[in-house]
Chain A
Amino acid sequence: MTEPLMKLDGLTKAYPGVVANSDVSFNIAAGEVHALLGENGAGKSTLVKTIYGLVKPDSGTMTLDGVPFSPAEPRAARAAGIAMVFQHFSLFEALDVAENVALGMENPPPMRDLAQRITDVSKTYGLPLDPTRIVGDLSAGERQRVEIIRCLLQDPKVLIMDEPTSVLTPQEVDVLFETLRKLKSEGTAILYISHKLEEIRALCDHATVLRLGHVVGTCIPRETSAREMAELMVGGTLHVPNREAGAVGETLMKIKGLSALSPAEFGTSLKDVTLDIRAGDVIGIGGVAGNGQDELLGVLSGEIRVGPGQISFLGQDIGHLPPDARRTLGICAAPEERMGHAAAPDMSLTENAALTARKRKGLTKNGFIDWGKTRAFAEEVIERFDVRTPGPGNAARSLSGGNLQKFVIGREILQDPQILIVNQPTWGVDASAAAAIRQALLDLAANGAGVIVISQDLDELMEISDLFAALNEGRLSKPRPAQGLTVDEIGLMLGGAHDMEVAHVD
């Protein structure tokens, strides 16, 4: 092997109370896609921030192209050929693509030239993007392309990508991977951070695994199973949810011919959705984001009211009932967006416990809130679901995304619902916590509840579902037993082939 493009040697960074990186060393070669793996809080972010000049290491050295490299600030890192696509975009929605790109450049060329260069780069790398479009109108995937193109215009030697696929649809992921492979073939090194192990296996040449700030292992992802990598990350045997085919009971909820207009301006309206939920069932609903997932959750939680005869629970028509009344009946839900939807960011966890649990946990009496009881419930959620926080008095926004997710899911599960609907239950949650959440969902079903899991993570759905259905442009395919479904069949369902039954005779 030739001299590596970038060498990290003994990088250490301590914050008060925690060592974020301890003696981290590895090399990245030109034209290599290098994965950085680790649970939440393993030190991945600190490490890439160090490379990008946002964090100054306490000790250790970096070399780039054989030259010592210690960027004092991101500008110096960019000048040396490091580019980074952050997980959260920093774009101005009111400006167009070219203007946004210009804002991120040191010396932007005249607008006309820039637009031409953006078009060129987007063609070269297969990232379709019109420089004159307003960013506010772009999808998450297109916004990410703006960020990527902004980086590519600098001709980077090393491109850092922080969880780039978490906001993308599978098709967009494919486009992104094509681009990354092309960059790799041109000799660009890519440092790739992700939770999604299958992705890493498909894309990356090497992986470095971090745990609690230390490098705990390296592997070649293609030759290592996802499970082995996950076990390296968590440092123990990964608890895979065990699926016991529980007895399926009576039908709890019937959805029949349900149609609902989306309240959001660019939302997807639901069309003629039919589904029966039986006690003990875990129904996985897959689909590309934006095909009516939010709306389906809204219709079931009661945020979107529908006409008579479309949803019934134990024979009772419930389409007109508001969320609180449905919770009283035993229908709980956990929406995808944690901040501002499932939880109020500025309120304490205790207050957030009262947000949904007040009816089922009897937290109010004659409208008066029993704060002692509410606090106790919040503490129970924190303890049972291993939410990392100093206490229930802390504001929801002070929690990391994964921890808040654990709180939100735990809050619903501990209400012992008869029907639970969750959207993206393990989004942004690390492997061991995700496994715990899945197990809790399965336990709930085993105890006789009906569980609907809406997710874009097909592996997750296959792991826990009894029945699988797909949402496509607001239509729900007929649910089929998850066991024995092939990838091709799932692909067809996701693509909207609803009359699969014709082609497939059991």
Chain B
Amino acid sequence: MTMGLHIDAVGVLALAALLAAVSLLGRASPALRHPRAVFGGIVLAMLLMLGWQLLAAGGLTAMLALSMMLLGAAATPWTAVRRPAAPRAGVLPGLTQVTTGLGLAIALLGLTGWFENDDSAYTWDLRLVAVLGVFIGIWTFAAGLVLWLRLNQTLPQTLPSARQKWVVLALLALSVVLGGLAVRYPATASVLLVVLALLALEMGALLALGLSMRRATRLLEWHLALIGAAIAMLGYVQSSLFLLALGGLMTAMAAQHVRGLRHRR
């Protein structure tokens, strides 16, 4: 419970700042003369929350977190693609990087949730969140990575085949069954979790390979919506209203974008 309290203590301020920033930046308001100041507000909200978290953690943990953050920021590639496959790829190269990183982080947090808790205090809802986190995270990671490699022309440009769709659907059905078994029978779940992770990897790669690049943005939109759902589930585990609200908001924004595209067709 203390985790959520730590996040939510400043989370309400950060959420208010984020809502205002997203609302201002999403609209072409002529009154908005300094969009970069709004951008600064988003960065400030993130820094405020991080500072609060590091203060609460204190000591060696704060040092470790800070080192990993510096390492992560330094390791971020500054050019999105070397040789873009599509000359006007727009936000696609950046989105593939974001979804790859987010997928890995969500999967690792899901795995931590699974291995950190003992069976006695581990209720079915926490197990379900951990399994879904691992599945969504690895699926998103694989899709983002394969699309990024295709954009870089490291992987060949492939076209979808008719059978591929059915294979992916079969893999999805199998994953649902295995996930259900892992939640229901936690004693045998470790093996099931490994198989589930492999299936998610295969499914993400297959979907991203068997897709024309024109539809790649739409696939990433769905993955962003799934990541939003995973963040909301993390909020449930960490008892954080901030993460719950943020996840719900992110899912709605990504879904809204998909709906907008469909209406324009």
**Are A and B physically bound partners?**
no
A-side interface residues toward B, CB under 8 Å? none
